[in-house]
Amino acid sequence: MKHGAARRVGVDLRYAEGELAVVVTDDGSGGAEAARGSGLRGIERRLAAFDGRLAVASPPGGPTKVTMEIPCLLDPEPSSPRTSTSSATG
């Protein structure tokens, strides 16, 4: 069943050891499967382009938990908003 009549949705973002994890949970009726060609399959395909992963746990009757993991590195010294990446010279 598409859009499992969820009344509550939670989103949790975490970063640890070079990986960003996004976990989305809902209290819907469950039954979501990326393999059935749903929108989840499109997300899985896009994550794969960045060596990311998608995991779906959605038993019949719910709840549904979708976890997306994306490798990334955070810059320990963010650049100034005035920093330019332009190679133009004056």
Q: Based on the structure, what is the number of domains in the chain?
A: 1
- Strand, coil or helix: what is 47? helix
* Cα–Cα distance, 50 to 32 (Å, whole number): 23
- Over the chain (90 residues), the average pLDDT of each successive run of 10 is 78 95 94 82 93 95 95 78 58
Which pLDDT score is estimated for 1?
43
Whether residue 81 is contained in a domain is answered as: no
For residues 56 and 32, is the Cβ–Cβ distance under 8 A? yes
Q: What is the pLDDT of residue 34?
A: 82
Rounded to whole angstroms, the Cα distance separating 28 from 30 reads 6
Place of tokens 């549904």: 64
Please tell me the predicted confidence (pLDDT) of residue 23. 97
SS3 55: strand
Q: Which domain holds residue 30?
A: 9-71
The predicted structure's pLDDT at residue 86: 59
Whole-number Å distance between alpha carbons of 83 and 67: 35
Residue 80 confidence (pLDDT): 64
CATH code, domain with 38: 3.30.565.10
